[in-house]
Amino acid sequence: MKALRIKWQYAVIALLAVSAAAFGLLRPQLLPTASSTKQKLSATDRIRQNPPPTLFTDAEITPIGKQAAAQREKADALFAQWKKAHGTTRDDKAFAAWAARQIPAPPTAKDRTAELHQVQALAKTRTAAGKKAATWLELNGKKDVWKLYLHDQRELIPARQ
């Protein structure tokens, strides 16, 4: 009977493969991962870590609020027309077609140019404080601020409301 001879290179490769597999299986138990060491922070904790700068004044926000209120009034009036004509019966296809007809035509070239000039004029009025506030809101205001606001409101408003 001939003895089975294995080349030494194959033995080394097999040893390395077994070592790598063992390391891969044991590593999670040996080293704590980044996700296991960090606990999930609440919205309050995230805002405490990165508090908001002074945000916009009421005078800065009021014109935007007026524009939003005007749009809301128009939307409410349009929906009241839909509801009067169609009632509350669900008809997604008809509603989608009706809603598409309510969208105004794209602005003319003259209107787009006027809007561009408004944006360019607005850019000249930006301050460092305003940029800082806008940046903070972009990074943190998407949901953390609103979660905190909702949490605070729940503490102040009776449950029945």
E strand map for 13-132: none
More confident residue, 111 or 17: 111
Q: Per-residue confidence at 18, pLDDT binned at 50, 70, 90?
A: confident
Report pLDDT digits (tens) over 127-149. 898 888 888 888 777 666 677 77
**Is-contact 156 77, C-beta < 8 A?**
no
Q: Which SS3 state, helix, strand or coil, does residue 40 take? A: coil
Write down the mean pLDDT value for the chain.
81
d(CA 51, CA 145): 10
CA nearest to 83, candidates 71, 95, 68: 95
More confident residue, 45 or 66: 66
d(CA 52, CA 149): 13
Task: Give the distance, in angstroms, between the CA of residue 74 and the centroid of all CA atoms in the same chain.
Answer: 27
**Is-contact 98 82, C-beta < 8 A?**
yes
Is the predicted pLDDT of residue 33 greater than 70, yes or no? no
pTM above 0.95, yes or no: no
Is the predicted pLDDT of residue 35 greater than 60, yes or no? no
E strand map for 4-82: none
95 Cβ contact list (under 8 Å, min separation 6): 82, 86
d(CA 70, CA 65): 9
**Is-contact 147 41, C-beta < 8 A?**
no
More confident residue, 20 or 28: 20
Burial readout 18-42 (b: 16 or more C-beta within 10 A, e: otherwise): eeeeeeeeeeeeeeeeeeeeeeeee
Domain boundaries, the chain: 8-39, 44-156
State residue 160's pLDDT score. 73
Take residue 139 and report the two structure tokens written for it. Answer: 């990074």
With residue 78 as reference, give the H or E element that holds it.
Answer: helix 58-86
